[in-house]
Structure 1
Amino acid sequence: MTNSIGTSMWSRVFRLRGTVILHIWWQVTLVVLFTTGIIFIHLNKFPIHFPMPILIDIMGVVTGLLLAFRTQTSYERYSQGSELWCQMTIYSRNLTRLIWTGVTPHDSQNIVEKKSAINLVLAFAVATKHYLREEYGYKYADLSNLLSHITTTHATPRNVSISHKETFDDVITTQRDVNCTNIPLEISYYIASYIKYCQNQPWDQPKCDAIVITAMHKYLSQLVGCLTTFEKIRKTPIPIAYSVHLTHITWIYTLAIPIQIVSRFEWNTLPIVALAGFALLGILEIGQEIENPFSYAANDLPLDQFCEDIRLEMEHVLMQSPVQAKDWISSDKNMPFYPKSFQTASELMRRSPEELENIMRRLETGPQAAAGRTAV
């Protein structure tokens, strides 16, 4: 176990994928070059003396608090996105379960209808993934086969990433020009039409009861609720004034360090400032990277894997017919009162309630129960 921990530690120390090193190396290089210039000026032109590094003390506290708040805010968005996807998975599972087991009879027509509806539940998750990545349209490898038979407003894949736009106004204008539509929301209309179809069957040939209909509407509404909250996270970035001001403060503080400590450390200032710049600029970059957790970066949520998990679960559910309670309760291998009674459920059902109660009393007063009471 110790060896495993050590291996994991060293693999993290030397790991590059998923880190911010490749994003900030040039920034740290600029800081090092600036520091080298300050040291050269101090040693060869005119000395730079700060009796007390007051600016480091004052700005250090402010910069630290701002960076901590920025990182925490970004992580909350990341965590909320992960929690929302977990909830959407739960609602997808429940809706699939109700469609597959709650709609009867299990004949050829209903099997085809239920499979078609469940495909749309999967399509909702996949379309949400693309929608959060601002990949508009449905002609993607993992989505087109699920939606090729229905009509959507927008059919051409387009990608408009907010992270590549200069201002919020540019984002709004670009999205308006693309004429993007909310395909997950459109899919919810088709799922609702299936629920309505089940609800409007003749009274003497019902496909499901009112409780199942109500539950399906509930889970569909919750899926749409998850989509709306996803939109809030994706389309409500941290205010630009806060992000820009924090970037300014971080750079001012980092570049002020060598000026204040060069008279004391001289060339030793170089590694000190390099490490400080790596730490501060790294934290700043982490906050910016995880602010939008829905993209393709190594630190983003694995949405492709989430959708694949949902697809595999649905395929597994559809591999078997809806389970009937009588089939497993009446099984010859079901011995409800084991180990006190080796009789099967079918045999026990032929006994009187008094006999069954006597068997259950023996269960409560058996050696294990007695040992449990003694331990207590």
Structure 2
Amino acid sequence: MHTGRSYRLKEFLIWTRRTIYWVLAISIVPTLLYQAAGLKWLTIPWTVVALLGTATAFIIGFKNTQTYNRTWEARQIWGAILNSSRTWGIMSRDFITNDPQKTKELVYRHFAWLTALRYQMRESRAWENSSSRENEEYKQFYTIPEKETPLETELAKYITPTELNYILGTKNRAVQLMSLQSKSIKELLVQNQIDSYQFVEMERIVRDLYDQQGKSERIKNFPYPRQFATINGFFINLFCFLLPFGLLREFDKLNDGIEGIMKGNMVWLVIPFSVLISWVYTSLEQVGESTENPFEGSANDVPISQMSRTIEIDLREMIGETDLPPALQPRNNIIL
């Protein structure tokens, strides 16, 4: 997530520069053929390009709306996890009044669940875009906590070696950690450390956390539909390719009303204007791509690592701890 006022134009140009090189090349070639080689037939009616540009604009707008909705839903899910986690901390502290160690065990296992879940959310998928060349280059400006420390090292801070070995041998580690939580509160009920009402309330939080995990996994494991993403790419590439051919005759007409050095040379302006218009379309497409997968580790992700650390600080304070981990800080205005 970008925490600053906005991206700088320089950052945006660096991020999109490969696309700029591509649209520059496809703008130069037809202009040279038309103006220097004298191939005056090398044009298409502007109406054709305009209609294609309109259709492309609609489909880009549709895609960007849907990808933003995916990111916003992900933010709502993790906001709900934050709220339920605080409730879990309060219940663990106030329901279990005669066993501080058990309270700490429940709270720390919850930290382990958050850790396992965020590591699962950072796993790569075939359709994600963080591995593209421009996104890989941009990763030098920020830090992905899940890529810096192995999961085993993080989990070892919160659970016993026995539980750690068991969890590392499972497929969905977050699910099994929450299963251990349910097992623990069932034992508390059997031992009369909590009553049946308290048991039901704590199980309700377990259910809520499972629900939020499922929603988070749904976004992670189901991409923006590939048929829409594919046709969007086709339309943009086709529009950028045809755009200079549609502008050639329009700019050539301008020579009739021009005097001086630009007389007869107005066609050369097709290159910068074609690049500018194409860059607008391709940049909107690139922004949409960087938004559609909110957990992949890109600069525009939902900051699940920061939120997990916030939960850990809050719950540690609830149970009376003072040796708290530091809050995660943005690097170059980006925090995950």
From the superposition, tell whether residues 15 and 26 of structure 1 become closer, same or farther in structure 2 (CA, over 3 Å): closer
SS at match of 2:151: coil
Corresponding residue for residue 281 of structure 1: 282
For 1:118 and 1:246, locate their aligned partners in 2 and report how far apart those are by CA, in whole Å. 46
- SS where residue 74 of structure 1 aligns? helix
Superposition RMSD in Å: 2.3
Determine which of 19, 24, 47 is the counterpart of 2:16: 24
Structure number with bigger Rg: 1
| TM-aligned CA distance change 1:37 to 1:281, over 3 Å | same
Q: Which residue pairs with 1:62 in the alignment?
A: 55
Correspondences of 1:59-208 after superposition (within 5 Å): 59-105=52-98, 110-134=99-123, 139-149=151-161, 150-152=163-165, 155=168, 181-201=171-191, 206-208=192-194
Change (3 A) 1:305 1:15: farther
CA gap 1:153/1:71 in 2 versus in 1, 3 angstroms: farther
Q: Distance in 1 between matches of 2:316 and 2:210?
A: 23
Matched, 1:234 2:226: no
**1:293/1:27 CA distance change after superposition, 3 Å:** same
Highest relative contact order (Cα 8 Å, sep 6+), 1 or 2? Answer: 2
Deviation at 1:96, TM superposition (A): 1.2
1:232, CA displacement in angstroms?
A: 0.7
Structure 1 counterpart of 2:118, which letter?
A: K
CA distance in 2, matches of 1:309, 1:125: 11
Contact persistence 2:119–2:151 (CA under 8 A): no
> Offset at 1:153?
5.1
Quick check: 1:262–1:269 contact (8 Å CA) kept in 2? Answer: yes
**SS of corresponding position for 1:142:** helix
Question: Does the C-alpha gap of structure 1 residues 51 and 65 become closer, same or farther in structure 2, counting only changes over 3 Å?
Answer: closer
Provide the residue aligned with 2:329 in structure 1: none
Whole-Å Cα distance in 2 between the matches of residues 254 and 71 of structure 1? 19
Look up the SS of the partner of 2:247 in the other structure: helix
Q: Equivalent residue for 2:30? A: 38
Unaligned runs of 5+ in 1: 1-7, 157-179, 321-376
Structure 2 Cα separation of the partners of residues 240 and 59 of structure 1: 21
Count of residue pairs the alignment pairs up = 278
Aligned pair 1:294/2:295, yes or no?
yes
Query: Any conservation in 1 of the 2:63–2:288 contact (CA below 8 Å)?
Result: yes
Instruction: Encode CA deviations 1:246-275: one digit per residue, 9 max, x unaligned.
Output: 101101011111001112321111111111
Q: Which amino acid aligns with 2:312?
A: R
Deviation string, structure 1 residues 161-212 (Cα, Å, up to 9, x no partner)? xxxxxxxxxxxxxxxxxxx7111100011100111011112xxxx3222222
Cα drift, residue 104 of structure 1: 2.4
User: SS state of the match for residue 293, structure 2?
Assistant: coil
Distance of 2:10 and 2:316 partners within structure 1 = 36
Letter in 1 for 2:298: A
Q: CA offset at residue 38 of structure 1?
A: 0.8
Distance 1:195 1:79 in 2: 33
Q: Deviations over 1:65-89 (max 9, x none)?
A: 1101111111111001100000011
Structure 2: distance between partners of 1:94 and 1:246: 43
SS of equivalent to 1:254? helix
The one-character-per-residue Cα deviations of 1:254-300 (angstroms, maximum 9, x if unpaired) are 11110011123211111111111211111111111111111222111
Kept in 2, the 8 Å contact 1:48–1:263? The answer is no
The one-letter code matched in structure 2 to 1:195 is: I
Q: TM-score, normalised by structure 1?
A: 0.69
Q: Distance in 2 between matches of 1:86 and 1:51?
A: 52
Give the conservation status (yes or no) of the 8 Å contact 2:115–2:154: yes
Q: 1:33 to 1:246 in 2, by over 3 A?
A: same
Structure 2 stretches of 5 or more lacking a match?
A: 125-145, 252-266, 322-336
Specify the code of the residue in structure 1 equivalent to 2:23: V
Residue 141 and residue 243 in structure 1: after superposition, are their counterparts in 2 closer, same or farther (change >3 A)?
same
1:145 partner SS: coil
Q: Determine which of 235, 239, 246 is the counterpart of 1:260.
A: 246
2:260 paired with 1:272: no
The 1:306–1:248 alpha-carbon spacing in structure 2 relative to 1, beyond 3 Å, is same
